[in-house]
């Protein structure tokens, strides 16, 4: 899905969509690798299997977005709103989720290896079967094992 138009925005790798309103957009399989999506609105958007590797999603609104099987490795999700987002089997390896809001998010079997979740809000998030390693950083006082996280 390289180089397509969605509601007047050109969707392609490296695109600058900072502050764009893509609420409810169907971006299934879109290639947004290394795109600037800072502060973009993806409320309830479909990003199933989208490639967002290395993308800047700082402060983005991904509330209730479908990110199933999305590639988010090395993405910047600092202070992103991901409450009620669907992220099963998403690859968040090395992603920066510092201060992100993941309340009620579904991270079933997601790859969190080396991810930074410092100060992230994880209340009621489903982390069953999520994979982590010694490089994964958690919020102070959070017990990933009790939440169902599996360590490699």
Residue 42 has pLDDT above 80, yes or no: yes
64-88 tens-digit pLDDT: 999 999 999 999 999 999 999 999 9
Say which residue, 6 or 64, is predicted with more confidence. 64
3-state helix, strand, coil in the chain (%, to 5): 0, 20, 80
| Mean pLDDT (the chain, rounded) | 95
Cα 92 from Cα 85, distance rounded (Å)? 14
> Looking at domain 1-152, does it have CATH number 1.10.3720.10?
no
pLDDT band at 2 (very low <50, low <70, confident <90, very high): low
The mean pLDDT value for 113-132 works out to 98
Q: What is the pTM of this model?
A: 0.94
What's the pLDDT band for 37 if we cut at 50, 70, 90?
very high
> Distance between CA atoms of 88 and 84, rounded to whole angstroms?
12
The confidence score (pLDDT) of residue 13 equals 84
Q: Tell me how crowded residue 146 is: count the other CB atoms within 10 A of its CB.
A: 8
Joined together, the tokens standing for residue 95 give 């992603």
| Residues 6 or more apart whose Cβ sits within 8 Å of residue 27 | 1, 6, 11, 42, 45, 46, 47, 50
Predicted confidence at residue 21, as pLDDT, reads 94
Task: Give residue 11's pLDDT band: very low, low, confident or very high (50, 70, 90).
Answer: confident
Residue 4 pLDDT > 80: no
């Amino acid at each position: 899905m390289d180089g397509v138009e969605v509601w007047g925005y050109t969707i392609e790798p490296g695109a600058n969509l900072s502050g764009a309103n893509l609420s409810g957009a169907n971006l299934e399989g879109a290639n947004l690798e290394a795109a600037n999506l800072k502060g973009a609105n993806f409320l309830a958007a479909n990003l199933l299997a989208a490639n967002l590797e290395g993308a800047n999603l700082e402060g983005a609104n991904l509330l209730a977005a479908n990110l199933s099987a999305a590639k988010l490795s090395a993405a910047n999700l600092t202070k992103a709103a991901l409450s009620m987002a669907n992220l099963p089997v998403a690859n968040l390896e090395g992603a920066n989720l510092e201060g992100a809001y993941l309340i009620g998010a579904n991270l079933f079997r997601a790859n969190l290896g080396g991810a930074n979740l410092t100060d992230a809000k994880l209340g009621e998030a489903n982390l069953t079967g999520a994979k982590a390693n010694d490089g994964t950083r958690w919020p102070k006082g959070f017990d990933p094992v009790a939440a169902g996280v599996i360590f490699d």
